[in-house]
Amino acid sequence: MLSFLLLHADLTYYLILGIGMVLSLIASARVKSTFAKYSEVPSRSGYTGSQVAHAILQAHGIHDVTVEPVPGALTDHYDPTSKTLRLSEPVFHSNSVAALGVAAHEVGHAIQHATNYGALRFRSAWVPVAGIGSSLGIWLVVIGIAMAAGGGSLWLAYGGVLLFAATTVFTLVTLPVEFDASRRALATLQDSRVLDVDELDGARSVLNAAAWTYVAAAAASVMQLLYWVMQLLAVQSRRED
């Protein structure tokens, strides 16, 4: 009976991992195809991603952020520790609708940093905790549950669940950070008239597709956390019977 329960638990966990992987693959494929589509649409303004990034930073009175190219595709990011905005080469040098949308989004993070946006501040502070949780959390849960099943204490398993929960918190708080950056980006592109109304629809499609990658990551993390919580509660229930 115990071996059946363990096998059933393993199959359930593999199913959760599979669902998370499928969601991630779908989201990744969607953002790549959407970016590729609007990378073929040049903006009427003719500005490149780097020019738009510099212009938006200047317009918001931000003069201490460096904008530089970084190799790869869809590797764009803002580094708050060095105040560096890194745009992938297809974005840095391109004047496409997709490039301007991505560049403005990353500037949105720089604006969040400059204005002390709460969710970004929390996420940055939470990075070390999430890193420990992602590397040790599951291992502690598995070892703790195995020890508890043999009559040992549940405290190690509880600690593992809490550490893994720290990773889940990180994926969840990432959502408002990313959605807010996209909102700022679209508003700035519209107000500055860098993109026309019809071009904004293309930029919005790119940013919405990118947002789904974060939604998929958060959903996968939540499902895994719930699974381990249920496993822990099941072991505790059997010990109390």
Q: Which residues are catalytic?
A: 106
Q: Are strands 66-70 and 77-79 parallel, antiparallel or unpaired?
A: unpaired
Spatial strand order in the sheet of 66-70: 66-70, 84-88, 77-79
Burial of 48 (0-12, 13-18, 19+ CB in 10 A): buried
Angle CA 126–130–135, to nearest 5: 155
DSSP state of 64: S
Q: Rounded to an integer, what distance in angstroms lies between the CA atom of residue 214 and that of residue 153?
A: 36
Which residues are CB-contacts of 55 (< 8 A; sequence separation ≥ 6)?
47, 192, 194
